[in-house]
Amino acid sequence: MDLIVPLGDEVLDLVAGDRVTLSGVVYTARDEAHLRMMQDGIPFDPVGAAVYHCGPVIAGDRVVAAGPTTSARMNRLSGFLLDAGVRALIGKGGMDATVTEQLRGRGVYLAFTGGCAALAAARMTLEGVFFPELGMAEAVWAIRLDRLPLVVGIDAHGRNLFAGVQARAEAAVRP
Amino acid sequence: MDPSLSLRIADATARAYARAVTTLPPDVEAALGRALAAETDPVARGELANILANIEIARTGGVPLCQDTGVPVVYVTLPPSVPLEQGLYDAVAEGVRRATSAVPLRPNVVDPLTRHNSGDNTGEGMPAVHVRPGDRLSVTVLPKGAGAENMSRIEMLLPSEVARIPEVVVGCVLEAGARPCPPVVLGVGIGGTFDLAAALAKEALLEPIDEMDPFETSLCEAVNRLGLGPMGLGGLTTALAVKVRRAACHTASLPVAVNVQCWANRHATEFVEVV
């Protein structure tokens, strides 16, 4: 399925394991940006938005490299975004049971392949920046995507692909 | 140090850094290709296809494979004609600064407590420079990203616990889960001391990954039985390779260090003409 932001109820039909693409403007945010947005407010329209866990390399007006960072660091920092209407969190490595519950009936977690910063950058155009004083890695960058290939890691019905794989791995060593 | 030699070392460091972050060693790319050929799970196949496409885009565009361009770990060999002096360390640091602005690299190096970012990927003790004697002057740059480095561990086993070594290696990967960007490469240091085991584990990552001895193969197979797969989304290949380096140790010790490396097992070597 080809998704376009702003996202709506179509995300509720997605199933963990589905492969999708995403187009349109998304917003990068790591730890510092989340803390800042909790304090000062969300600087973009959050309704139907997608937030990308990413600290890119930017040169001038160009996205040089922009792969995903570890989403689990944002496990305790994401509820306010979903409450405000954000429909998709994008990152790598998955998120915990708390976020899985927060996504229920509202949105999805989309996994992008870790380390694939050049592939990502090849499908990105820089549109703007919020909180530039946080520095290159931690600022909120507005980036237009052109069909970024993603996997539904956590769907809106509590299915978490990462948790299932991890549980099977644990069972394999502790039978 | 002779100023022109210093310049050549800085230049070689910058070139090795640039090459390391934009192109993968052929043995690593080949291992990823074999993982894709063997994989049947559609999600895992998609992840590996993304990785191989990413490698191609980075190579042809001369852009970093990953936005985490790492911290600089540098291995230098010095021929007998070149004395070991402070100028060598300064030249390597200069090369790191140049690569940071030229490639560009993400400025990753910060003070450990204040978290102040130097902006140029150098700082106290950074770059980490390891010097050995050799026939030629060579500079090898191993940029180490944090996602995988943070999952590394060391255990001081009892001498009677040799049979627990596979459990340490597999347990490390299990606990890491999706976080180190699997399929990983594991450097394992066995023996020596607390610090030497960790150093050996990191150096093991420089070895070719297209060959493993029977012990390394058995460790790799044990890791792959976890089924974590590419990016922890499930699949056949959780580790591309396990490389082991050993050192003699105290009769009362058995240090085992596991240095976790992401699929982007980046390293590149440049040689410097001495005369």
My answer on whether B138 and B167 are in the same domain is no
Q: Which residues of B touch A169 (CB under 8 A)?
A: 174, 177, 226-228
**Interface membership of A167 toward B (CB under 8 Å):** no
The whole-number average pLDDT for the span B170-186 is 97
The whole-number average pLDDT for the span B75-96 is 97
Q: Which of residues 12-71 of A touch B (CB under 8 A)?
A: 17, 19, 54-57, 59, 64-67, 69-70
Residue B111 lies in a domain: yes
d(CA B207, CA B265): 10
Classify B145 in phi/psi space as left (phi over 0), alpha (psi -120 to 50) or beta: beta
My answer on whether B106 and B173 are in the same domain is no
For chains A and B, CB pairs below 8 A equal: 143
Angle at B163 between CA B160 and CA B168, to 5 degrees: 105
Q: What's the pLDDT at A174?
A: 78
Q: How far is CA A124 from CA A64, A147, B80, in A?
A: 9, 9, 50
- Cβ distance of A114 and B231 shorter than 8 Å: yes
Per-residue confidence at B168, pLDDT binned at 50, 70, 90? very high
- Cβ distance of B179 and A170 shorter than 8 Å: no
CA-wise closest residue to B23 among B49, B60, B48 = B60
Instruction: Yes or no: say if A77 and B84 are a contact pair by the CB < 8 Å rule.
Output: no
My answer on whether B133 and B246 are in the same domain is no
Q: Which of A30, A119, A124, A154 to mutate to test the interface with B (most CBs of B within 10 A)?
A: A119
pLDDT of residue B61 exceeding 70: yes
My answer on whether B113 and B78 are in the same domain is yes
d(CA B73, CA A58): 23
Q: Which of B179, B231, B261, B265 to mutate to test the interface with A (most CBs of A within 10 A)?
A: B231
| Neighbour-count burial of B135, counting CB atoms closer than 10 A to its CB (0-12 exposed, 13-18 middle, 19+ buried) | exposed
d(CA A90, CA B99): 30
Final residue in a domain of this structure, among B117, B144, B171: B144
The beta strands (E) that lie in chain B are given as 71-78, 128-133, 137-144, 153-157, 184-191, 239-247, 254-261, 268-272
My answer on whether B93 and B15 are in the same domain is yes
CA-wise closest residue to A109 among A97, A125, A121 = A97
- Structure pTM? 0.94
pLDDT of residue B215 exceeding 80: yes
- Cβ distance of A119 and B57 shorter than 8 Å: yes
The domain limits of chain A are 2-173
Residue B50 lies in a domain: no
What mean pLDDT is reported for chain B?
A: 97
Per-residue pLDDT of chain A (175 residues; tens, 9 = 90+): 999 999 999 999 999 999 999 999 999 999 999 999 999 999 999 999 999 999 998 989 999 999 999 999 999 999 999 999 999 999 999 999 999 999 999 999 999 999 999 999 999 999 999 999 998 889 999 999 999 999 999 999 999 999 999 999 999 987 6
Indicate the residue of A57, A169, A170 with minimum beta-carbon distance to B64. Answer: A57
Query: B173: nearest CA in chain A?
Result: A169
Q: How far is CA B86 from CA B2, B92, B233, in A?
A: 12, 10, 47
- Cβ distance of A151 and B46 shorter than 8 Å: yes
Residue B33 lies in a domain: no
Per-residue confidence at B237, pLDDT binned at 50, 70, 90? very high
Instruction: Quote the ipTM score.
Output: 0.91
**Interface membership of A146 toward B (CB under 8 Å):** no
My answer on whether B254 and B190 are in the same domain is yes
To which residue do tokens 């494979």 refer? B65
Final residue in a domain of this structure, among B116, B144, B172: B144
Q: Which of A21, A112, A113 to mutate to test the interface with B (most CBs of B within 10 A)?
A: A113
Residue B184 lies in a domain: yes
Tell me the percentage of chain B whose pLDDT exceeds 70.
100
d(CA A20, CA A27): 18
My answer on whether B115 and B245 are in the same domain is no
The whole-number average pLDDT for the span B22-49 is 97
Instruction: Yes or no: say if A52 and A68 are a contact pair by the CB < 8 Å rule.
Output: yes
d(CA B55, CA B31): 13
Instruction: Yes or no: say if B190 and B244 are a contact pair by the CB < 8 Å rule.
Output: yes
Per-residue HEC secondary structure of chain A comes to CEEECCCCHHHHHCCCCCEEEEEEEEEECCHHHHHHHHHHCCCCCCCCCEEECCCCEEECCEEEECCCCEHHHHCCCCHHHHHCCCCEEEEECCCCHHHHHHHCCCCEEEECCCCCHHHHHCCEEEEEEECHHHCCCCCEEEEEEEEEEEEEEECCCCCEHHHHHHHHHHHHHCC
My answer on whether B178 and B129 are in the same domain is no
d(CA A139, CA A85): 21
Q: What's the pLDDT at B275?
A: 79
Residue B28 lies in a domain: no
To which residue do tokens 């140090």 refer? B1
Q: Which residues of B touch A93 (CB under 8 A)?
A: 177-179, 231-232
Cβ neighbour number for residue B197 with a 10 Å cutoff: 27
d(CA B254, CA B159): 5
Query: A93: nearest CA in chain B?
Result: B178
**Interface membership of A169 toward B (CB under 8 Å):** yes
My answer on whether B184 and B243 are in the same domain is yes
Final residue in a domain of this structure, among B144, B163, B192: B144
Task: Indicate if A157 belongs to the active site.
Answer: no
Per-residue confidence at B70, pLDDT binned at 50, 70, 90? very high
CA-wise closest residue to B202 among B70, B75, B65 = B75
Instruction: Yes or no: say if B67 and A57 are a contact pair by the CB < 8 Å rule.
Output: yes
Q: What's the pLDDT at A81?
A: 98
Q: Which residues of A touch B67 (CB under 8 A)?
A: 54-57, 64-67, 117
The CA dihedral of A40, A44, A45, A46, to the nearest 10 degrees, is -70
Q: How many domains does chain B have?
A: 2
Classify A158 in phi/psi space as left (phi over 0), alpha (psi -120 to 50) or beta: left
My answer on whether B132 and B78 are in the same domain is yes
CATH 3.40.50.12160 fits A2-173, yes or no: no
Residues B173-196 as b or e (16 or more Cβ within 10 Å = b) = bbebbbbbbbbbbbbbbbbbeeeb
Q: What's the pLDDT at A175?
A: 65
| C-alpha radius of gyration, chain A, whole number | 15
d(CA A55, CA A53): 7
Domain range enclosing B73: 3-23+64-144
B97-101 contacts: CB < 8 A, separation 24 or more?
B97/B121, B97/B122, B98/B10, B98/B11, B98/B13, B98/B14, B99/B13, B99/B14, B99/B17, B99/B18
DSSP output for B75-142: EEEE-TTS---HHHHHHHHHHHHHHHHHTTPP---B-TTT--B-SSS-BTTBSEEEEEE-SSEEEEEE
Residue B117 lies in a domain: yes
pLDDT of residue B267 exceeding 90: yes
Residue B134 lies in a domain: yes
pLDDT of residue B16 exceeding 80: yes
